[in-house]
A and B are shown apart, each in its own frame.
Chain A
Amino acid sequence: MSVPVMAEPLLKVAGLEAWYGESHILHGIDFEIGRGELVTLLGRNGAGKTTTLRSIMGIVDKRRGSVKFEGLETVGHPSNQIARRGIAYCPEERGIFSSLSVEENLLLPPVVKPGGLSLEDIYRLFPNLEERRRSQGTKLSGGEQQMLAIGRILRTGASLLLLDEPTEGLAPVIVQRIGEIIRQLKERGFTILLVEQNFHFAATVADRHYVVEDGRVIDMVASGDVKQNLGKLQAYLGV
């Protein structure tokens, strides 16, 4: 395994545990992401990938352990403060607001730091959204809603994007388009933590993959080593 040497990781998660009500979902997640990296969390349904993203964002009932962003602890802080430090979240269910127009949805997350994309940049990236900017947010197609959910968090200046299954339920041609966009975002310098069920999609965009099982990180594979480790990965993911 080739682990890149990192001076100071942008995000360092150590011994992260999380609960929903009484159920203990995460049992000690450990991983880190360097600035500008694109890292995925792989694993079966219910392994704890989404909960890991939600825990980083601070929107689980209870969490313990350590999540350091730019060297500062975030556990113990409410989600609005975590967002203000520069982490942005695109949820699996997309979370498009039906009482807001497309443009209002895009403008909703406040700018927390300089350096985000402008509205024009976002429309250039997603021309469909500009055509339909006056429409009700939830009147868009599934693919357009996904683009809106991603586009919306690019304005804020957040440097770390948490993307939860952006390709779920979408047609192959749209999955391809989203893949291109994620690669472009990486080129622009965004650090991305991606949760994916679609391993083939993940393998084409990511630098490294962490494997999550039963609320723990059990392995790490760099994209370059995927071919040699294919059997092992398939066993993890049950494909």
Chain B
Amino acid sequence: MFELLGISAPALFGQLLLGLINGAFYAMLSLGLAVIFGMLNVINFAHGAQYMMGAFAAWLMLGILDVPFWASLVLAPIIVGLFGVVLERVLLKRLYHLDHLYGFLLTFGLALVIEGLFQWKWGSSGAPYPSPIAGGWNLGFMYLPKYRGFVVVAALAICLITWYAIERTRLGAYLRAATENPTLVRAFGINVPRLITITYGVGVGLAAMAGVLAAPIQQVSALMGTNLVLVVFAVVVIGGMGSIMGSIVTGFGLGLIEGLTKVFYPPGSNTVIFVVMALVLLVKPAGLFGQTK
């Protein structure tokens, strides 16, 4: 085996692969945030809590009804997405005429309430979720559990499907147009308030789907989303608020950068994303893919 700057190949590739897996979650979550922000102008701080709800929904369905992982992967996002729809109809829509800050505060408060309730009911120690795909591949430089490989592929597929739906379909064109000028789009006969509700529901569903995918890797716990969502917000800022492709590329990219930092300078791995954020903001205040309005 060769060595690079004193680092063995297994260590390097191993961390890169872990970075890719983390990046997959960053990408899925920042994508949902971007979709929601683009349409609602709301910074959805409850995204981490909704991710956690997805994992919990899968775990509860398995424990109580014996629903297998693959069914949960579809059902949990629908259930949590519907919860998002109710949230939007009952609470969020009352804030659209106010400053962004109010939507941010509301979703922040909701995240605290939701996570508090889950913690109260199920504690914060976390519960395991059995991996739906057993075994792994020996790649020579490392052992890759098959499930982790699947997560990377599934995340890429979810990201590309979402990108395609927004950039290449009729519904996506409605969405993009309504982001620019909702009044005119409505005057063309499109029910924009319903479009907004659907968008929020889909964004929340994406978070929940990421949560289901995370369940077999992480412990299912009430606070599993809080730390992650902080990093994801940094990813969104680096990529540019509201940019779909930006959040996908930045999500995977930053996961890899984080992985590399773990190899070359382990103490910096927790802060490297925020350093990158500061540097990007100095050079491009709107983010790498963002457009200044």
- A contact set with B: CB distance below 8 Å: 57-59, 78-84, 88-89, 91, 95, 97-100, 104, 107-110, 112, 153, 156
**Residue of chain B at shortest CB distance from A94:** B184
Q: How far is the CA of A95 from the CA of B187 in the complex (A)?
A: 11
**Residue of chain B at shortest CB distance from A82:** B187
Tally of B interface residues using CB under 8 Å: 18
Give the Cβ gap from B269 to chain A, nearest Cβ, in Å: 36
Interface residue B185 (Cβ < 8 Å from any Cβ of A)? yes
Q: Is the interface of B mostly helix, strand, loop or mixed?
A: helix
Chain B residues in 8 Å Cβ range of A108: 173-174, 177, 185, 188
Q: Is the CB of A109 within 8 A of B173?
A: no
Contact of B189 among A80, A98, A99, A104 (CB under 8 A): A80
Interface residue B8 (Cβ < 8 Å from any Cβ of A)? no
20 chain-A/chain-B pairs, Cβ below 8 angstroms: A59-B186, A78-B186, A79-B183, A80-B186, A80-B188, A80-B189, A80-B190, A80-B191, A83-B187, A83-B189, A84-B189, A89-B188, A91-B184, A95-B181, A97-B177, A99-B180, A100-B176, A100-B177, A107-B173, A156-B189
Q: Is the CB of A59 within 8 A of B170?
A: no
Q: Is the CB of A57 within 8 A of B187?
A: yes
**Residue of chain B at shortest CB distance from A101:** B173
**B177-228: which have CB < 8 Å to A?**
177, 179-181, 183-192
Chain A residues in 8 Å Cβ range of B192: 80
- How many inter-chain contacts with C-beta < 8 Å in the A-B complex? 59
**Residue of chain A at shortest CB distance from B192:** A80
Contact of B188 among A83, A98, A99, A104 (CB under 8 A): A83
Chain A residues in 8 Å Cβ range of B184: 89, 91, 95
Q: How far is the CA of A95 from the CA of B177 in the complex (A)?
A: 10
Question: Which 3 A-B pairs give the minimum distances between C-beta atoms?
Answer: A83-B189, A109-B188, A99-B176
Chain B residues in 8 Å Cβ range of A80: 186-192
Q: How far is the CA of A78 from the CA of B187 in the complex (A)?
A: 9
Q: Is the CB of A98 within 8 A of B180?
A: yes
Interface 0/1 of B153-175, CB less than 8 Å to A: 00000000000000000100110
Give the residue among A59, A91, A97, A112 with the most B Cβ atoms within 10 A. Answer: A97
Q: Is the CB of B183 within 8 A of A97?
A: no
Q: How far is the CA of A82 from the CA of B187 in the complex (A)?
A: 8
Give the Cβ gap from B170 to chain A, nearest Cβ, in Å: 7
Give the Cβ gap from B238 to chain A, nearest Cβ, in Å: 21
Q: How far is the CA of A153 from the CA of B188 in the complex (A)?
A: 8
Give the Cβ gap from A68 to chain B, nearest Cβ, in Å: 18
Chain B residues in 8 Å Cβ range of A99: 176-177, 179-180
